[in-house]
């Protein structure tokens, strides 16, 4: 594929007004529509759009984590967001950009938790009816949070992908605006603002680890860093027990895997998504798999050495940094702590029962 040249030397208040893309999925299998979107304009507009509702999250340096990994470790605290996870950026950006007609129809989506919370939160901000489909064994804390923001909860399916298929059918039946968890330019542009904040706070950053479930946050990080600081190495991370995105990236085709039985529900999908994968194929150079025990240990390290709470997906970048410690020794490393939504029962399990993670 041809390289993309972004023209970014423009004041945000002078940006052209571009209508949000209406496509819910890429319109060609080659990915041309995905690549040709004016990504940096969309991302800078997203920052303006979400600024009235969200403050930049902290980027903190941690000496004890740095000692553990052997590198200068900086943590981007998306677990400090109002919903406890990074996805709220995308939810607000998407619903804020919808037309009045779309808002009146309501929104519907499928989620293992954090994406659903982001849509529920944003829908409440803008007075939009919302339905969130969740798998049968979903995190109770996340389900309670979605209900608290006023969303209707639909429980269906053994995993995220079964839920998503059911939700797509209901969206067509009810005439609601279906929000795909990854194939949405406005979601990607919204979460890409994390990388803008990182580069503003730590322009000397050399490596960035980012968990990959649907792939929106990693895609957003790649779009921003390739435009503004191509030397910053972005490394994707996924659970070895839910490796559809990794396999799709490796094989350069969309791959569906037979299982997604990781405890890190934010990484638990059997299906890779076209829009985010095309961005990963174009820009991502390294993608790491971590096992369940490595995720569990990373959650504990965050508690012990940073006094902060990370869910499994949020701990994945630290797990990967530990796995890659020889390659990143002495470098300035940023870890996206994407979320901290852990139920009390699950946290106790993580801390007290190591036998079940192998």
- 329 shares a domain with 216: yes
Do 199 and 116 fall into the same domain?
no
Check whether residue 201 and residue 171 sit in a common domain.
no
In the chain, the number of structural domains is: 2
Pick from 151, 179, 185: nearest CA to 167: 179
Sole residue written with tokens 């839920």: 163
Kindly report the CATH number assigned to the domain that includes residue 77: 3.40.50.1100
Write down the pLDDT at residue 11: 37
Domain final residue pick, 181, 198, 214? 181
Question: Looking at the structure, do residues 163 and 240 belong to the same domain, yes or no?
Answer: no
**58 and 314 in contact (C-beta within 8 Å)?**
no
Q: Are residues 350 and 248 in the same domain?
A: yes
20 in a structural domain: no
Per the CB < 8 A criterion, the answer to whether 165 and 94 are in contact is no
Handedness of CA 238, 240, 241, 246 (dihedral sign): positive
Q: Is the pTM of this model over 0.75?
A: yes
pLDDT, one tens digit for every residue, the chain (358 residues): 333 332 233 333 444 344 444 434 333 333 446 657 899 999 999 999 999 999 999 999 999 999 999 999 999 999 999 999 999 999 999 999 999 999 999 999 998 788 999 999 999 999 999 999 999 988 888 888 899 999 999 999 988 888 989 999 999 999 999 999 899 999 999 999 999 999 999 999 999 999 999 999 999 999 999 999 999 999 999 999 999 999 999 999 999 987 888 999 889 888 899 999 999 999 999 999 999 999 999 999 999 999 999 999 999 999 999 999 999 999 999 999 999 998 888 899 988 876 555 5
Residue that terminates a domain, selected from 158, 181, 204: 181
**Do 67 and 216 fall within a single domain?**
yes
343 and 208 within one domain: yes
What DSSP designation does 79 have?
Answer: G
> Do residue 275 and residue 350 come from a single domain?
yes
Answer yes or no: do 155 and 76 share one domain. no
Reported as type and span, the H/E element at residue 357 is none
Reduced to 3 states, what is the DSSP secondary structure of residue 336?
A: strand
Is residue 51 domain-resident? no
The last residue of a domain, from among 137, 155, 181: 181
Residue 244 lies in a domain: yes
Residue 36 lies in a domain: no
User: Which domain, by its residues, includes 162?
Assistant: 88-181
Q: What is the pLDDT of residue 113?
A: 81
* CA dihedral over 193, 195, 196, 197, signed as positive or negative: positive
In the chain, count of helices (H) and strands (E)?
17, 10
Same domain, 78 and 104: no
163 with 304, same domain? no
Residue 23 forms part of a structural domain: no
| Separation in Å, CA 76 to CA 63, 273, 286 | 15, 25, 20
């Amino acid at each position: 594929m041809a390289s993309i040249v972004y023209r970014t030397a423009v004041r945000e208040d002078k940006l052209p007004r571009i209508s949000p893309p209406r496509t819910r999925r890429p319109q060609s299998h080659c990915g041309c529509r995905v690549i040709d979107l004016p990504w940096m304009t969309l991302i800078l507009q997203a920052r303006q759009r979400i600024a009235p509702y969200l403050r930049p999250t902290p980027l903190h340096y941690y000496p004890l984590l740095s000692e553990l990994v052997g590198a200068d470790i900086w943590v981007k605290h998306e677990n400090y967001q109002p919903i406890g996870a990074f996805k709220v950026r995308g939810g607000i950006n998407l619903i804020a950009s919808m037309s009045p007609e779309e808002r009146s129809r309501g929104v519907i989506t499928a989620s293992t938790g954090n994406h659903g919370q982001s849509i529920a939160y944003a829908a409440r901000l803008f007075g939009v009816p919302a339905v969130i489909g969740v798998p049968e064994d979903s995190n109770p804390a996340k389900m309670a949070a979605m209900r608290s923001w006023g969303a209707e909860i639909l429980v269906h399916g053994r995993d995220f992908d079964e839920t998503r298929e059911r939700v797509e059918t209901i969206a067509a039946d009810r005439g609601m605006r279906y929000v795909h968890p990854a194939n949405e330019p406005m979601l990607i542009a919204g979460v890409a603002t994390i990388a803008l904040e990182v580069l503003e706070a730590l322009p000397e950053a050399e490596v960035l680890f980012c968990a990959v479930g649907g792939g929106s946050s990693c895609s957003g990080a790649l779009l921003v860093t390739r435009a503004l600081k191509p030397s910053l190495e972005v490394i994707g991370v996924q659970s070895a027990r839910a490796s559809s995105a990794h396999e799709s990236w490796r094989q350069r085709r969309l791959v569906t895997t037979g299982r997604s039985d990781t405890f890190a529900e934010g990484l638990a999908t059997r299906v890779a998504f076209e829009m985010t994968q095309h961005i990963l194929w174009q820009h991502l150079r390294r993608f790491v798999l971590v096992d369940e025990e490595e995720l569990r240990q990373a959650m504990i390290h965050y508690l012990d050495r940073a006094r902060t709470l990370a869910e499994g997906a949020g701990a994945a970048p630290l797990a990967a940094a530990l796995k890659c410690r020889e390659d990143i020794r002495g470098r300035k490393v940023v870890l996206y702590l994407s979320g901290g939504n852990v139920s009390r029962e699950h946290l106790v399990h993580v801390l007290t029962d190591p036998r079940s993670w192998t």
